[in-house]
Amino acid sequence: MSTPGEQNITFDLDNGATAHGYLVGPDGDRPDARGPGLLVIQEWWGLTPHIADITRRFADDGFVALAPDLYGGEVAHDPAEAKRMMSALPFADAVRTLAGAVDRLLVDDRVIGDRVGVVGFCMGGGFVLALAAQEGERVFAAVPFYGLPPEKVSYSDLTAAVLGMFASEDRAYPPAAVDAEWGRITDESDAEVDRIDWDAGHAFMNDAEPGRYDAEVAPRAWSTAVRFLREHAPTD
């Protein structure tokens, strides 16, 4: 299945339902350009213009990037609404949608190999870890930005290389909570697991939130994440 440029897509889930997402290939002027598959998982705000922009940036860096829409088209406009929408999102349903997005990427002719990478932010960071644990060898690398799973996850099937991107001044996901989760990951799996605690606060990558975005840390974290994903991505 080949998809030119960038577009909003619909994909099937294993329970017969459908979901939506935003898909961007590498080099929009060349619909035949190929690259590793990458899921980009939203923050609690939804599939916002910021997440769409992040998805395009990963495509510009050579990935076939797909951002699944976990809220079915809804976008939050304030923290209270975002919290309500996140709390109303069933964990199992969200992971099912993400697994369907993995399926969708792997049938795209432009995707290299039979595994995908996963990156996510805040709420999405937690789903990165949950999805990588569930999907096992179908995920080559997982990069959670400042997020932890909302429910306990078993990491016994985790094989993806993991690079956690956290913030030393994060009140939402403080270092002690990250330490505890990282202890579980290393105890339960044989995966390559690493972590960076950036000198920043929560949501330091989100340039749509000027009060949180860290213009010094964000570019370094981005290049580190891209390099890590490329190092572990399939090459043919």
Q: In terms of residue numbers, what domain contains 146?
A: 6-232
Q: pTM for this one?
A: 0.94
* Mean pLDDT across 9-21: 90
Selection from 109, 122, 113, 97 nearest residue 39 by Cα: 97
* Mean pLDDT across 119-143: 97
d(CA 63, CA 89): 28
Helix (H, G, I), strand (E, B) or coil at 3: coil
* Mean pLDDT across 126-131: 97
Tell me if 105 is assigned to some domain: yes
Q: Are 121 and 146 in contact (CB under 8 A)?
A: yes
Tell me if 189 is assigned to some domain: yes
> Is 2 or 89 the better-scoring residue by pLDDT?
89
Tell me if 179 is assigned to some domain: yes
3: pLDDT strictly greater than 80 = no
d(CA 230, CA 24): 17
d(CA 122, CA 150): 11
* Mean pLDDT across 156-165: 97
Tell me if 192 is assigned to some domain: yes
> Is 236 or 17 the better-scoring residue by pLDDT?
17
Into how many domains does the chain fold? 1
32: pLDDT strictly greater than 80 = no
Selection from 86, 72, 91 nearest residue 17 by Cα: 72
- Other C-beta atoms closer than 10 Å to the C-beta of 16 total 6
* Mean pLDDT across 155-175: 96
Q: Give the model's pLDDT for residue 5.
A: 62
> pLDDT, tens digit, for every residue of 37-50?
999 999 999 999 99
> pLDDT, tens digit, for every residue of 49-64?
999 999 999 999 999 9
Q: Give the model's pLDDT for residue 2.
A: 41
CATH assignment of the domain containing 125: 3.40.50.1820
Side-by-side strand order, sheet with 193-198: 6-12, 18-24, 64-68, 35-41, 111-121, 139-145, 161-167, 193-198
Tell me if 1 is assigned to some domain: no
Tell me if 116 is assigned to some domain: yes
Classify burial at 80, counting beta carbons within 10 Å of its beta carbon; exposed 0-12, middle 13-18, buried 19 or more: exposed
Tell me if 111 is assigned to some domain: yes
